[in-house]
Amino acid sequence: MTILGSTGSIGTQALDIVRRHPERFELVGLSASSNVDALADQAREFSPQYVALENGSARDLEDRGVKEPRVLTGRGAASELARVEADVVLNGVVGFAGLAATVAALEAKNTLALANKESVVAGGEWVLDLAKDNPIIPVDSEHSAIFQCLEGREPDRVSGLLLTASGGPFFATPKAELLDAGPEAALKHPTWSMGVKNTLDSATMMNKGLEVIEAHHLFGVSYENIKVVVHRQSVVHGGVYFKDGAFVLHASPPDMRLPIAYGLLYPERVASPVGDTDFAGVSWTFDEPRNDVFRCLPLAFEAGRLGGAYPVALNAANEVAIESFLDGRIKFLDIADVVEATLESASGVDAAAELESLDGIVAADEQARAEARRVLEARR
Ligand SMILES: NC(=O)C1=CN([C@@H]2O[C@H](COP(=O)(O)OP(=O)(O)OC[C@H]3O[C@@H](n4cnc5c(N)ncnc54)[C@H](OP(=O)(O)O)[C@@H]3O)[C@@H](O)[C@H]2O)C=CC1
Ligand SMILES: CC(=O)[C@@H](O)[C@H](O)COP(=O)(O)O
Ligand SMILES: [Mn+2]
């Protein structure tokens, strides 16, 4: 097994599974961007064959007592590692930066356990085509849930998909109070402990928007037949509607180690790190999303329906906008405005886009980021 993004939230939880079930795993590689201290600690504890560091040198690792594994460094190190033969490659890199590694793992015919949703959003059909011979095992909790609901069932009997959203920290907050919501409040997720980007995307509901596009591509279901509901408890993660009226739901405690373990060991299952859920006296609620306030979700549906380079532009504009929000340059509700304005002017990006290669998608992403920065500049 290889873990890309091993120093992040997904990566460290994956390593916790390795700690609990050491006999199940042979560690091929670990990768990080710049957190050399954490990567060195992991390399000393787990003795992988390779370590990959995007921003740093072999010397940085040697100075921290990492002598044994082969070291890959520099831009593209994670992708180089993704090409090394492994029984499964977990992509826990955050953001668009994870696309190259997804492509590399699939081109090398490694099984891909995928947490990095942005690579399916931006890579779309082209990435799914690469996955024809070695299917992707989803790790994102909702997609793992749907995958598990579909196990052993005929895809042509499916009529729709359900994705649940926690609603984030602001689901019940009046719009007027959101005008001054800052990063600290936005990063207080009610049910999950995750990296900064996914947590902020949950607060804006862009996370669910990205996940709708991810589900459309992974499961081949049209946007009209994908439903999102707000489920504050984050115990039901997703479901499948069947043509005969049956509705199969997946539920589990909100702990990412469950879908990560499933993705790494599929089709096997190992003992849960958390106890069984007692359902007695428990209430589950399901509400409509507040699309008038959290506009990133309807914008993502629209970008998905438009197709072409629009999902690339949605994702790029979001990454630019959230960086600005975290730096205090724009307000919480401006994130959706920046995404919307970028999409409105994205027809040029779409017309020029060549989405059948990594270079083509990277070019579309760069163009959309430039467009989003123009939008931000014009708002000053
Ligand atoms: N966290 C969660 O519970 C869930 C996450 N996901 C998805 O999984 C992915 C990872 O999320 P999460 O673990 O929260 O993110 P984190 O920010 O916690 O971790 C990101 C990891 O990616 C590495 N990284 C960052 N930039 C690059 C780069 N340019 N090239 C290579 N590696 C890089 C980081 O290294 P370094 O530490 O050195 O910066 C770190 O190891 C995201 O796409 C997210 O949406 C999906 C469902 C749940
Ligand atoms: C754990 C996981 O899969 C996250 O993507 C989660 O879905 C985020 O929570 P929200 O439902 O608030 O977006
Ligand atoms: Mn999710």
Q: pLDDT tens, 152-188?
A: 898 889 999 999 999 999 999 999 999 999 999 999 9
The average confidence (pLDDT) of the chain is: 96
- The tally of domains found in the chain comes to 1
Is 8 marked as binding a ligand?
yes
SS3 state of residue 228: strand
Q: Please work out whether the CB of residue 204 comes within 6 Å of at least one atom of ligand 2.
A: no
pLDDT at 275: 82
Banded pLDDT at 279 (limits 50, 70, 90)? confident
Residue 68 has pLDDT above 90, yes or no: no
Only one residue has tokens 């306030």, namely 293
Residues in a beta bridge with 91: 4, 114
Phi, psi of 52 (to 5 degrees): -125, 130
Q: Is the confidence at residue 277, as pLDDT, over 80?
A: no
SS (H, E, C) 222-285: CHHHEEEEECCCCCEEEEEEECCCCEEEEECCCCCHHHHHHHHHCCCCCCCCCCCCCCCCCCCC
- Whole-number Å distance, alpha carbon 200 to ligand 3 midpoint, is 12
**323, exposed or middle or buried, with CB in 10 Å at 0-12, 13-18, 19+?**
middle
Residue 349 has pLDDT above 90, yes or no: no
Closest by CA to 293, choosing from 135, 128, 176, 122, is 176
Partner residues linked to 59 by β-bridges: none
Q: Of the ranges 30-44, 266-280, 288-302, which one carries the lowest mean pLDDT score?
A: 266-280
366: pLDDT strictly greater than 90 = yes
Q: What global pTM score does this model have?
A: 0.98
Q: According to the annotation, is 117 in a ligand binding site?
A: yes
Is residue 20 assigned to a domain?
Answer: yes
29-32 and 2-4 strand pairing: parallel
pLDDT at 350 over 90: no
Binding residue per annotation — 9? Answer: yes
What integer pLDDT is reported at residue 224 of this predicted model? 98
Taking the centre of ligand 2 as the mean of its atom positions, its distance from the CA of residue 320, in whole angstroms, is: 20
Do 65 and 39 form a contact (C-beta atoms < 8 A)? no
The answer to whether 184 is a known ligand-binding residue is no
> Is 109 part of any domain?
yes
- What pLDDT score was predicted for residue 136? 97
Mutate to test the pocket of ligand 2, among 234, 255, 294 (most ligand atoms within 8 A of CB): 234
Report the pLDDT value the prediction gives residue 352, as an integer from 0 to 100.
84
| In the predicted structure, residue 298 carries a pLDDT above the cut 80 | yes
**Arithmetic mean of pLDDT, 140-152:** 97
Classify residue 16: in a domain, yes or no: yes
In eight-state DSSP terms, residue 276 is P
Neighbouring CB atoms inside 10 A of 335's CB total: 26
Tokens of 274: 């958390």
**E-only strand ranges, 96-181:** 112-114, 136-138, 158-165
| Residue 284 token pair | 């589950």
- State the pLDDT at residue 276: 80
- What is the distance between the terminal CA atoms of the chain, rounded to a whole angstrom? 47
| 25 vs 278, higher pLDDT | 25
pLDDT tens for 212-263 read 999 999 999 999 999 999 999 999 999 999 999 999 999 999 999 999 999 9
Q: Say what the ipTM of the complex is.
A: 0.99
Compute the average pLDDT of residues 95-117.
98
* Residue minimizing CA distance to atom 5 of ligand 2: 140
**Tokens standing for residue 245:** 């009226």
What does the block give as tokens for 7? Answer: 């120093």
HSE value, Cβ hemisphere, 13 Å, CA-based, for 193: 8
Is the Cβ atom of 199 under 6 angstroms away from ligand 2? no
* Other CB atoms within 10 Å distance of the CB of residue 48: 24
Among protein residues, the one whose CA lies closest to atom 2 of ligand 2: 141
Token representation of residue 314:
């949605």
Sheet of strand 2-4: strand arrangement: 70-73, 50-53, 29-32, 2-4, 89-91, 112-114, 136-138
Which position has the token pair 């039901």?
Answer: 236
Ligand nearest to the CA of 12: 1
Q: Is residue 25 part of a domain?
A: yes
Any atom of ligand 1 within 6 Å of the Cβ of 118: yes
Which amino acid is it at 281?
G
Ligand 2 within 6 A of CB of 208: yes
Question: How sure is the predictor about 364, in pLDDT bands with cuts at 50, 70 and 90?
Answer: very high
Over residues 53-74, mean pLDDT: 94
Band the pLDDT of 135: cuts 50, 70, 90: confident
Q: Which atom of ligand 2 is nearest to the CA of 201?
A: 13
Whole domain around residue 44: which residue ranges? 2-138
Whether omega before 267 lies within 30 degrees of 0, making that bond cis, reads yes
Q: What is the pLDDT of residue 6?
A: 98
- Which residue's CA is minimally distant from atom 45 of ligand 1? 198
Query: What is the distance between the alpha carbons of residues 269 and 241, in angstroms, rounded to a whole number?
Result: 25
167 annotated binding-site participant: no
CA distance 273 to 77: 32
For residue 120, give the ligand nearest its CA: 1
pLDDT of residue 353: 84
Residue located via tokens 């994702």: 315
- The answer to whether 31 is a known ligand-binding residue is no
Question: Tokens representing 46?
Answer: 């787990």
C-beta 199 within 6 A of ligand 1:
no
Of 170, 171, 207, best ligand 2 pocket probe by most atoms within 8 Å of the beta carbon: 207
| SS3 state at 133 | coil
Note whether 307 and 217 are within 8 A (CB): no
CATH number assigned to the domain comprising residue 127: 3.40.50.720
pLDDT of residue 133: 86
Output the CA 165–ligand 2 centroid distance in Å: 6
> In this structure, is residue 339 part of a structural domain?
no
